[in-house]
Amino acid sequence: DKYGTIGDARGWGFMLGVEFVTDSQLRKAETLDVMDKMKQMGVLIGKGGFYGNVFRIAPPLCFTKEDANYLVDVMDCSMTKK
C-alpha cells in the first residue's frame, strides 16, 4: 500500500515476483533503476515479465529472517530514493 507503483506480489514456494505497474514507457527504466540501487547495497535480484517490470526474488535455501528483513529494508530504501 505504501507504493502506488507496485501492482502485484506473487510467488510459488521460495520464489517471489513483485510487479511494477506504471506507464509502459517507465516500467522497465524504473525497475532497472531500483535494481541498480539495490545492487549497490549488496542485494541481487532478477527481472522478468513481458515489459521487464517484475522483480524476481529467488533466495537461497539458507535465507534467514534477518536476510529477509534486510532485503525488504533495501528495497524500501531503493524505492524511496529519487
- CATH number of the domain within which 46 lies: 3.90.1150.10
Q: Does the residue 1 lie in any domain?
A: no
The three cell numbers of residue 25 are: 514507457
Q: What is the spatial distance between Cα 23 and Cα 77, in angstroms, rounded to a whole number?
A: 22
Range of the domain at 22: 6-79
Once rounded to an integer, what is the mean pLDDT over residues 13-41?
79
Q: What is the DSSP letter of 51?
A: T
> For residue 31, what is the enclosing H or E element?
helix 24-40
In a domain, 72, yes or no: yes
pLDDT band at residue 81 using 50, 70 and 90 as cut-offs: low
Give the whole-angstrom CA distance, residue 59 versus residue 40: 18
Residue 75, domain member (yes or no): yes
The tens digit of pLDDT for each residue in 30-68 reads 778 888 999 999 999 998 888 788 889 999 999 999 999
pLDDT higher than threshold 60 for residue 24: no
**Confidence band (pLDDT; 50, 70, 90) for 20?**
confident
Q: Which pLDDT score is estimated for 70? A: 96
CA angle 12, 31, 17 (to 5 degrees): 5
Does residue 70 contact residue 44 with C-beta atoms inside 8 Å? Answer: no
